[in-house]
Amino acid sequence: HEKELVLPLLKALPQDQCVDTYGAPLLDSSALIHFSRLFIGNDSGLMHLSSALKTPTIALFGPSNEAIYGPFSLQVPSPHRTLRGEPFTGNVRQHISDTRNYMEALQVPPVWDVVKERWETLGKQ
């Protein structure tokens, strides 16, 4: 049901630069992430996979604590960045009665700034 939310983004991206792995085996996603120069995603299994594969990661956080659940790296400085729309409130588990969208406060401009910074840094490596 979430694919419908992503379709406008997939349609807006250059088709020769976008690979839709929705519903594909995890091994396919792993290979794509491993050979990617940058991963952008929410706090999810794929974000942790990206971190484990040492792919530079921009992790977007809602109600979970990025200090605990953020991408891990022994590299200094870390190739990963985390962003959230509002400060962590201690709400790690979202209850079914809580219909608030915890990602709503995360705006595009600060994410885009980090994407540009990471892309410029990665381009120099």
pLDDT digits (tens, 9 = 90+) for 86-112: 777 776 666 777 666 777 888 888 889
DSSP 90-106: S--S--TT----TTTT-
Tokens of 34: 């491993």
Poorest-pLDDT segment among 5-9, 44-48, 58-62: 5-9
Distance CA 123, CA 7 (A): 29
Residue 112: Cβ-neighbour burial (10 angstroms; 0-12, 13-18, 19+) = exposed
Predicted model pTM:
0.79
Tokens of 78: 């870390």
